[in-house]
């Protein structure tokens, strides 16, 4: 027996779900909106009203089952969707937190970098300011020392001019005395004794005492003539003796010390500087860089050697204008010392004796056996200010220590930049008369 195919579509009141019922041959196919398929087999035959009612009941059950399946499927889909949304929200929140954290780290790094740059700028500014202050102070000290030295030299020149006038008057008086003595010796002689040779010849047969007196007089007369020539010379340079000559003619007192009796000159090499701190020479390149730095822009690192030497010589000549001897060069810079009464020579010093710098005994330096020192008060060796030369002694020979290239170091009275430094002199040793 065959049946025709029938299809029944049922929609819920909202129009969102449907139920398809297909009757074909001996089977009933029920398809829900959730995709479930229900097959009823065998096909019930409609024989009574009760059978029809039962079919509707069965249909309602099938529809209810279909709706329950659809609801379950919809709930599962919603559950999966909610889980996806929740997981995605968590991923977005995590990513957002990572972005926020990275931005905070970047912002903090930028702030720290700005603080570091500000600190570096502040430190650099402080260093520059400190260096400017130090350089200004050092230049001020150097200028003050130069001004003091110039003032001292000018005062010494004035005093020397006064003393020289007095010495010339004294020498003239001594000349008159010596002339009168010679006239007395020759007065009444029947011989023409107008030369020393004739006097010696005449007295060859006189006893030894008389000859000894004549020899002594001859020596004194020669010394007097030399002093007269020095004091009456028309050239100012000739009036100043070398330090070696002054020391050789110096008479020490019972304490093996004496102040210099005559002004003197010294020669220096001004192209290098002795450093007491390193116990050696700075070297011409280092000394040149110091001069350039102190030149207030007059010299630069690109200045030629000729420009450098011309500048240094002009500064020295301006500083020592009253005492520098004309024709001086940097390698042979010649200065007059016209205040000998301030220079005290001490020899045969006891063990433990030290050189002085600005009134202080230099305990950190080696012992010295002799020293030549500038004293604040003329003629007062208890007012030693700075030892300009010192060293070892063997008999009457005084050797300057330290020494380099066979010449001794002469220390500057007021130091160089407040240090006990100096320059190579023209002497290695001195000999007592």
- Tell me which DSSP letter residue 31 carries: E
Core vs surface per residue 53-68: b (16+ CB within 10 A) or e: eeeeeebeebbeebbe
In contact, 5 and 17? CB cutoff 8 Å: no
In this structure, are strands 360-361 and 356-357 parallel, antiparallel, or unpaired? antiparallel
In contact, 353 and 366? CB cutoff 8 Å: no
- Cα 433 from Cα 251, distance rounded (Å): 8
In contact, 71 and 16? CB cutoff 8 Å: no
Helix, strand, or coil (residue 242): strand
Task: Convert the pLDDT of each residue in 327-346 to its tens digit.
Answer: 999 999 999 999 999 999 99
Task: Convert the pLDDT of each residue in 315-327 to its tens digit.
Answer: 999 999 989 999 9
- Tell me which DSSP letter residue 383 carries: G
In contact, 387 and 373? CB cutoff 8 Å: yes
Task: Convert the pLDDT of each residue in 87-146 to its tens digit.
Answer: 888 888 898 888 888 888 988 889 998 898 888 888 888 888 888 888 888 888 878 887
pTM of this structure = 0.48
The per-residue pLDDT of the chain, averaged, comes to 81
User: Who wins on pLDDT, 233 or 144?
Assistant: 144
> Is pLDDT at 268 greater than 90 in this prediction?
yes
pLDDT of 27:
64
CB atoms within 10 A of CB 262: 18
- Cα 399 from Cα 346, distance rounded (Å): 13
282: burial class by Cβ within 10 Å (0-12, 13-18, 19+)? middle
Average pLDDT for residues 161-165, to the nearest whole number? Answer: 68
Task: Convert the pLDDT of each residue in 6-23 to its tens digit.
Answer: 455 555 566 555 666 666
- Cα 51 from Cα 174, distance rounded (Å): 179
Token reading at 193: 């004794």
Alpha-carbon distances, residue 362 vs 34, 138, 343, 353, 354 (angstroms)? 113, 23, 18, 9, 6
- Cα 31 from Cα 39, distance rounded (Å): 9
User: Who wins on pLDDT, 181 or 139?
Assistant: 139
Task: Convert the pLDDT of each residue in 355-402 to its tens digit.
Answer: 999 999 999 999 999 999 999 999 999 999 999 999 999 999 999 999
Question: What number of residues does the chain have?
Answer: 433
């Amino acid at each position: 027996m065959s049946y025709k195919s029938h299809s029944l579509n049922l929609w819920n009141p909202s129009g969102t779900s449907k139920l398809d019922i297909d009757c074909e041959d001996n089977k009933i196919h029920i398809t829900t909106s959730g995709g479930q398929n229900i097959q009823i087999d065998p096909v019930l035959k409609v024989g009574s009203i009760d059978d029809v009612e039962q079919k509707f009941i069965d249909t309602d059950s099938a529809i209810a089952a279909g709706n329950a399946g659809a609801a379950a499927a919809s709930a599962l889909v919603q559950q999966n969707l909610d889980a996806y949304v929740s997981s995605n929200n968590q991923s977005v929140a995590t990513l957002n937190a990572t972005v926020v954290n990275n931005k905070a780290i970047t912002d903090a790094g930028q702030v720290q970098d700005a603080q570091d740059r500000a600190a570096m700028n502040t430190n650099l500014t402080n260093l520059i300011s400190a260096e400017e202050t130090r350089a200004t102070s050092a230049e001020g000290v150097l200028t003050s020392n130069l001004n003091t030295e110039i003032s001292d030299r000018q005062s010494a020149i004035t005093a020397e001019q006064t003393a020289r006038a007095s010495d010339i008057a004294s020498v003239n008086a001594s000349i008159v005395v010596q002339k009168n003595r010679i006239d007395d010796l020759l007065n009444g002689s029947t011989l023409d004794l107008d030369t020393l040779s004739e006097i010696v010849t005449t007295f060859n047969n006189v006893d030894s005492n008389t000859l000894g007196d004549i020899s002594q007089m001859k020596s004194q007369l020669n010394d007097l003539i030399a002093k007269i020539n020095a004091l009456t010379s028309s050239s100012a340079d000739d009036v100043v003796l070398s330090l070696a000559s002054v020391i050789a003619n110096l008479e020490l007192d019972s304490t093996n010390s004496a102040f210099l009796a005559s002004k003197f000159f010294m020669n220096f090499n001004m192209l290098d500087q002795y450093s007491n701190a390193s116990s050696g020479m700075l070297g011409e390149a280092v000394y040149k860089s110091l001069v350039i730095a102190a030149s207030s822009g007059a010299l630069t690192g690109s200045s030629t050697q000729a420009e450098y030497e011309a500048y240094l010589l002009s500064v020295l000549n301006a500083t020592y204008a009253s005492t520098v001897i004309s024709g001086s060069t940097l390698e042979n810079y010649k200065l007059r010392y016209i205040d000998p009464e301030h220079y005290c020579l001490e020899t045969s010093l006891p063990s433990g004796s030290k050189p002085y710098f600005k009134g202080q005994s230099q305990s950190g330096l080696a012992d010295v056996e002799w020293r030549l020192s500038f004293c604040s008060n003329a003629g007062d060796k208890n007012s030693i200010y700075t030892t300009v030369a010192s060293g070892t002694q063997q008999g009457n020979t005084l050797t300057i220590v330290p020494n380099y290239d066979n010449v001794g170091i002469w220390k500057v009275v007021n130091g160089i930049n407040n240090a006990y430094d100096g320059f190579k002199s023209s002497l290695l040793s001195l000999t007592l008369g």
